[in-house]
């Protein structure tokens, strides 16, 4: 182990501070603009965006006394959403769906990640602190987001998103698997920049990373429990590599299955299986979070307990996916169900009845007479091609009659139209001629 390096990590995670008033003003302005767009475009997701930013403005006004400290971690979250959007858009378009669906899911994804990750951390790791200071639950900027909770939040968000658009839930989850893997990798890089979610102390202190801004170690040194800040396992880097590794495996798996020929559910199931197996292994080297510890006296910690359902979902999902082999494909048009509200009250345009030309109507009547008389179905305009037993002078006479038929309109089609006696006489004469021929 002595060949491995020892690194002192002392990066300031904050690169700029924004005053409280500016935060409230920006969030409020975005909320008002979103509500305005929702009024203009009935049935769009701008209402949800407006509600989200209105809540953020309220939380900032109520609890953000010192303003907002923008961290590298926050910027990475922006990269997560932009990169996740690009990958989801690629998957939806490749499956035959509209690119707008990927943009619409961003609203659901932001809410799912923030609410799920925060509530997951509170419930699974730090519920005692939440009971002592309930207001702390809303102070997301102080840290405390659980990846397992983020996964649960994204599952709920995907369910609501796909249900509203009439898209199969597994289809939407399949398309999102690539984005989830990218997000898992970049979030762990953010944890490293933030000096949080650290690894356990290396026993022999021969290698590792010394996180000089990790609050727990600073407090232990100040209390005299530790002589100096210890070297720890860089588990953030391990989980970052895990996320990128799963992303690469998904890409190769997708190609091996023929891309859009793959069975539905294969991609999200593979993500759950590979990622949570990796998480289970890395947890052996991660520091316990909050009051997570080892629940119920089990030999594994809370992170490993929460990884077991993910592994099970992956195994069962892969089995069912290859057993049923449901073809993939984003339902084109079903995703636009939210736009149907705009056209719900509109009456469908009446279909115009096509009127046959006058000459064509007469031809149809004469063809019916010919079918009844001879039992053969033929077109009057080509009678001379089918009457092989007629004499040459009779064929010439028929051609003259056809020319006259095409030149003059029929008085029988429109009852309200005036009838020219000369035209009627010609048709009468023609009809008599045809009867003589037949």
Residue ranges per domain, the chain? Answer: 6-15+71-336, 20-66, 358-437
- Give whole-number Cα distances, 77 to 182, 189, 370, in Å: 11, 10, 79
Region 165-179: mean pLDDT is 94
Q: What does the pLDDT read at residue 203?
A: 94
Would you report the helix, strand and coil content of the chain in percent, each value rounded to 5?
65, 5, 30
HSE at residue 300, side-chain half, CA atoms within 13 A, is: 12
Among residues 91, 256, 257, which one has the least CA distance to residue 181? 91
Q: Is 268 helix (H, G, I), strand (E, B) or coil?
A: helix
Contact 212, 9 (CB under 8 A): yes
Comparing C-alpha atoms, which of 111, 110, 112, 108 is closest to residue 153? Answer: 112
Q: Tokens representing 371?
A: 């079918």
Cα–Cα nearest to 172, from 156, 187, 149? 156
* Torsion over CA: 138, 26, 55, 46 (sign): negative
Q: What is the pLDDT of residues 265-323, one digit of tens each?
A: 999 999 999 999 999 999 999 998 755 567 767 888 888 998 999 999 999 999 999 99
Q: Cβ(6)–Cβ(210) under 8 Å?
A: yes
Strand partners, 282: none
- Residue 409 φ/ψ, nearest 5 degrees: -75, 155
% of the chain with per-residue pLDDT over 70: 71
Average pLDDT, the chain: 78
């Amino acid at each position: 182990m002595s060949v491995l390096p020892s690194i002192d990590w002392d990066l300031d995670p904050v690169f700029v501070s924004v005053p409280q008033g500016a935060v409230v003003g920006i969030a409020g302005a975005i909320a008002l603009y979103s509500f305005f767009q929702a009024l203009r475009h009935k049935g769009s997701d701008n209402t949800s965006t407006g509600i989200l930013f209105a809540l953020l403005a309220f939380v900032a006004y109520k609890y953000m006394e010192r303003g907002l400290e923008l961290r590298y971690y926050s910027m990475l979250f922006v990269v997560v959403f932009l990169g996740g959007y690009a990958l989801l858009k690629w998957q939806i378009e490749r499956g035959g769906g509209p690119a707008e669906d990927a943009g619409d899911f961003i609203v659901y994804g932001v809410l799912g990640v923030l609410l799920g990750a925060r509530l997951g951390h509170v419930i699974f790791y730090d519920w005692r602190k939440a009971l002592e200071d309930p207001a702390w639950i809303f102070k997301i900027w102080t840290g405390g987001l659980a990846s397992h909770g983020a996964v649960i939040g994204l599952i709920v968000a995907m369910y609501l998103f796909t249900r509203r658009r009439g898209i199969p839930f597994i289809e939407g989850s399949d398309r999102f698997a690539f984005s989830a893997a990218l997000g898992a990798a970049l979030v762990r890089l953010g944890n490293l920049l933030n000096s949080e979610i650290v690894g356990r102390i290396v026993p022999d202190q021969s290698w590792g990373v010394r996180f000089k801004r990790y609050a727990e170690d600073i407090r232990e040194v100040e209390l005299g429990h530790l002589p100096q800040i210890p070297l720890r396992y860089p588990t953030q880097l391990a989980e970052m590599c895990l996320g990128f590794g799963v992303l690469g495996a998904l890409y190769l798996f997708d190609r091996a299955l023929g891309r859009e020929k793959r069975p539905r559910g294969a991609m999200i199931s593979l993500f759950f299986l590979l990622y949570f197996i990796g998480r289970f292994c890395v947890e052996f080297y991660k520091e316990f979070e909050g009051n997570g510890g080892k629940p119920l006296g089990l030999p594994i910690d809370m992170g490993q307990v929460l990884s077991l359902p993910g592994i099970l979902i992956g195994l069962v999902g892969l089995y069912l996916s290859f057993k049923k082999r449901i073809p993939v494909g984003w339902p084109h048009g079903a995703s636009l169900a939210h736009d149907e509200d705009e056209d719900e009250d509109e009456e469908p345009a009446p279909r115009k009845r096509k009127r046959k030309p006058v000459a064509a109507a007469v031809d149809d009547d004469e063809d019916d007479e010919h079918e009844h008389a001879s039992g053969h179905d033929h077109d009057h305009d080509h009678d001379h091609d089918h009457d092989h037993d007629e004499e040459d002078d009779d064929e010439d006479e028929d051609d003259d009659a056809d020319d006259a038929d095409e030149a003059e309109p029929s008085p029988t089609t429109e009852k309200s139209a005036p009838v020219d006696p000369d035209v009627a006489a010609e048709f009468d004469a023609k009809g008599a001629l045809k009867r003589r021929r037949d």
